[in-house]
């Protein structure tokens, strides 16, 4: 088990919703010697300071994952990199495909290259359920990024680096969430849903951060970690946020799926199962030894999809998770941060 205490840690996209929550968690639980918040938005970094993130170990670094030089300089003496930077708004990626490729694919390659050059010990990257059998560009770029991070372990004899990824579903409170959209729409009394049959995997920001840190501590290199998390129905989410509102069906968009997949049947053949998660073993030559082989292999034919999940969030649970009252009003003092 890798010890994260007193390390030098860098978070790409560190001023985003996940990055802020992750920084708070690390400061409270691991006392890093240095925690570098690396991203390109100086306003978000300023807002982090205003929110009280002014710990002596914090360093704010302006840079872009598209720029190898700025990444490499920021990684000097860094032990651990948590890669969260991405363009993730699906319609925006569809309309600006080269921008998505430059950030999500080229940026990931830069993170790997800079980490190898800087002799970083561990790198973990955030992925998405949309990377499984992707039908939109965002999912396709994250699939390629997953492959890059898995493959980055092949030169380990020369560069002692350990690289893995985590893959999970929708996070309450993350940027681009449908939650703020529904909150805006309820003022008019009408909620727009593309398809009432739609289901999604969901988890809290706190659970996402804890899972990433847990995976970072136990990774051996080349794995993709998949948490066991509940599903939600889009109609239940609408009821949780805007009870009594009229629902208009706009029709599913070309880049949307009715249901999401966290683990495909083909991947399940080289996946092991532990209490709270699945671990997809690397498929590259020589990667079989990094698969935590002592654990239980998944059953043949496993297909972990949002519509066939055994665990579901109820309307009341959704209200608690997103800080809503039973009357559709936003609760104050909620821990969920919208950005």
| Residue 335 confidence class, pLDDT cut points 50, 70, 90 | very low
Q: Which residues are catalytic?
A: 130
- Alpha-carbon distance of 101 to 140, in angstroms, equals 9
Bigger pLDDT: 288 vs 13? 13
- What is the extent of the structural domain holding 93? 8-169+201-229+261-307
Provide φ and ψ at 251, rounded to 5°.
95, 140
Number of Cβ within 10 Å of residue 90's Cβ equals 18
Evaluate whether residue 249 is within a structural domain. no
Report the percentage of the chain scoring pLDDT > 90.
80
pLDDT given for residue 285 in this prediction? 52
Span 290-303, pLDDT tens digits: 445 445 666 666 88
Secondary structure in 3-state letters for 28-66: HHCCCCEEEEEECCHHHHHHHHHCCCCCCCEEEEECCCC
Average pLDDT, the chain: 89
DSSP 3-state of 134? coil
Q: Is the pLDDT of residue 223 over 50?
A: yes
pLDDT given for residue 186 in this prediction? 94
The number of folded domains in the chain is 1
Evaluate whether residue 250 is within a structural domain. no
pLDDT given for residue 179 in this prediction? 87
Cα distances from 143 to residues 65, 105, 133, in angstroms, run 18, 9, 9
- Global model pTM greater than 0.85: yes
Evaluate whether residue 67 is within a structural domain. yes
pLDDT given for residue 107 in this prediction? 98
DSSP 3-state of 194? coil
pLDDT given for residue 303 in this prediction? 87
Bigger pLDDT: 172 vs 14? 14
Span 243-275, pLDDT tens digits: 999 999 999 999 999 999 999 999 999 999 998
Evaluate whether residue 248 is within a structural domain. no
Span 31-49, pLDDT tens digits: 999 999 999 999 999 999 9
Q: Is the pLDDT of residue 162 over 80?
A: yes
Evaluate whether residue 194 is within a structural domain. no
Evaluate whether residue 221 is within a structural domain. yes
Evaluate whether residue 319 is within a structural domain. no
| Residue 331 confidence class, pLDDT cut points 50, 70, 90 | low
pLDDT given for residue 332 in this prediction? 46
- Region 53-82: mean pLDDT is 96
Evaluate whether residue 17 is within a structural domain. yes
Q: Is the pLDDT of residue 287 over 60?
A: no
Nearest residue to 11 via CA among 48, 61, 47, 52: 61
- Alpha-carbon distance of 265 to 270, in angstroms, equals 10
- Region 207-232: mean pLDDT is 96
Q: What CATH number is associated with residue 286?
A: 3.40.50.720
pLDDT given for residue 54 in this prediction? 87
């Amino acid at each position: 088990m890798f010890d994260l205490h007193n390390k030098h840690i860098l978070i790409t996209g560190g001023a985003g919703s996940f990055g802020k929550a992750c920084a708070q968690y690390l400061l409270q639980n691991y006392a890093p010697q240095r925690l570098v918040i690396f991203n390109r938005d100086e306003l978000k970094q300023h807002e982090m300071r205003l929110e009280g993130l002014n710990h002596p170990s914090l360093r704010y670094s302006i840079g872009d994952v598209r720029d190898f030089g700025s990444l490499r300089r920021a990684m000097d003496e860094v032990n651990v990199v948590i890669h969260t930077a991405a363009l993730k708004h699906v319609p925006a990626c569809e309309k600006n495909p080269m921008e998505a490729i430059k950030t999500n694919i080229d940026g990931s390659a830069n993170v790997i290259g800079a980490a190898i050059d800087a002799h970083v010990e561990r790198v973990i990257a955030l992925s998405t359920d949309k990377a499984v059998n992707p039908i939109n560009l965002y999912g396709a770029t994250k699939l390629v990024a997953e492959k890059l991070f898995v493959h980055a372990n092949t030169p380990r004899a020369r560069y002692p680096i350990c690289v893995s990824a985590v893959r999970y579903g929708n996070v309450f409170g993350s940027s681009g969430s449908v939650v703020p959209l529904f909150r805006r729409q309820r003022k008019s009394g009408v909620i727009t849903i593309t398809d009432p049959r739609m289901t999604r995997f969901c988890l809290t920001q706190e659970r996402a951060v804890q899972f990433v840190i847990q995976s970072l501590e136990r990774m051996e290199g080349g794995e993709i970690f998949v948490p066991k998390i509940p599903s939600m129905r889009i109609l239940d989410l609408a009821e949780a946020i805007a009870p009594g509102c009229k629902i208009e069906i706009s029709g599913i968009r070309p880049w949307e799926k009715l249901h999401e997949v966290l683990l495909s049947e083909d991947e399940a053949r080289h996946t092991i199962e532990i209490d709270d998660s699945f671990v997809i073993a690397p498929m590259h030559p020589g990667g079989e030894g990094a698969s935590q082989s002592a654990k239980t292999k998944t059953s043949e034919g496993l297909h972990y999809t949002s519509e066939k999940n055994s665990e579901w969030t109820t309307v009341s649970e959704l209200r608690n998770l997103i800080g809503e009252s039973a009357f559709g009003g936003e609760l104050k003092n909620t821990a969920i941060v919208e950005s």
